[in-house]
Structure 1
Amino acid sequence: MAQQLATLAGGCFWCTEAVFKDVIGVSRVESGYTGGHVASPTYREVCGGDTGHAEAIRVTFDPDRISYDELLDLFLATHDPTQLNRQGNDVGTQYRSAIFPHSPEQEEAARQAIERSAADWPEPIVTTIEPLTDWWPAEDDHQDYWAGEGQRNPYCLAVIPPKLTKLRKSFADKVKPAG
């Protein structure tokens, strides 16, 4: 089967990107912006909170190796989908939890994933399902900012390792081997 796309927003895109790069069946993860009203937004503009865009990731995956449903379960388990317009210290609509379906089937799967995950959280899930708008890749100087070591960004160093630990513990059968 051909590769498919999933577009997800769960706070800082570098933190979300780091999780999905380790997932079996995922061939590419790209950070960028979607869901807003400004064409070709810059990182600085999106961080200002006035573009309407979310920091998001676009995941290219092989549905024969990992299903869209499984990607959504990973997504909802590795960030806090109960926080409205924030993830930890990142606050603003650009850090919202959102799913941007690429088809009516993905939209229905998103609804079902939110329902499935609700029992795992003490508060209601506020993740939105939003229409997919134009995709704007993050600028090259922001790509791979995390780079696996977190040496360039202390925030990523604090946030990403617990996400990866949860991924490896809760979804061990979905994680690429180390190395």
Structure 2
Amino acid sequence: MTTEVTAERTEPRSGRNWLKGRSELGICALLAALGVLVLVDAATISTDFTQRGPVGPKTVPSIVGALLLVVAVLLARDVLRGGRGESETGEDVDLSEPSDWRTVLLLSAAFLANAALINLIGFPLSGMILFWGCAYALGSRNTVRDPLVAAALSVVTFFVFNNLLGVPLPGGPLMGVL
């Protein structure tokens, strides 16, 4: 009984063929670039104010940037070792259906309206338009409940940020009322 060993000739792969099936490396590059951006931005944070504890303003962004770099390296190592992400298997996602661009455009319009109106009419009113527009775009059609919930969310958000957290938001005409 003789065993024949055949040596396979391996041809050098071109860059395109090598990258095929490794699209996750693009995500690794994006995460690494984002991590570097966060670290560079954290390094430029000014500390010309009185610090009230051991944790300064650079701590959290520095940790987030470092963790982004660690995740990028670990994901790249996994991909280069043959790891692959699982394909979408969600039961509520039908991959054969086209994208719902109407919803995307309505959500974009709500966000853009908020950005355009926030300095003109204040956060409580522009936030109400944002919350109501998002509810409408996502399918809610209750004409009584939706604006009331949107108004409540907007006013509570404004109060929490403006009064409790000390983050000033434009109040607009409702500033004297709230």
Instruction: Report the TM-score when normalising by structure 1.
Output: 0.22
Greater relative contact order, per chain length (Cα 8 Å cut-off, separation 6+): 1
Greater strand proportion: 1
The two structures have a TM-score, normalised by structure 2, of 0.22
Higher share in helix: 2
Larger Rg over CA atoms: 2
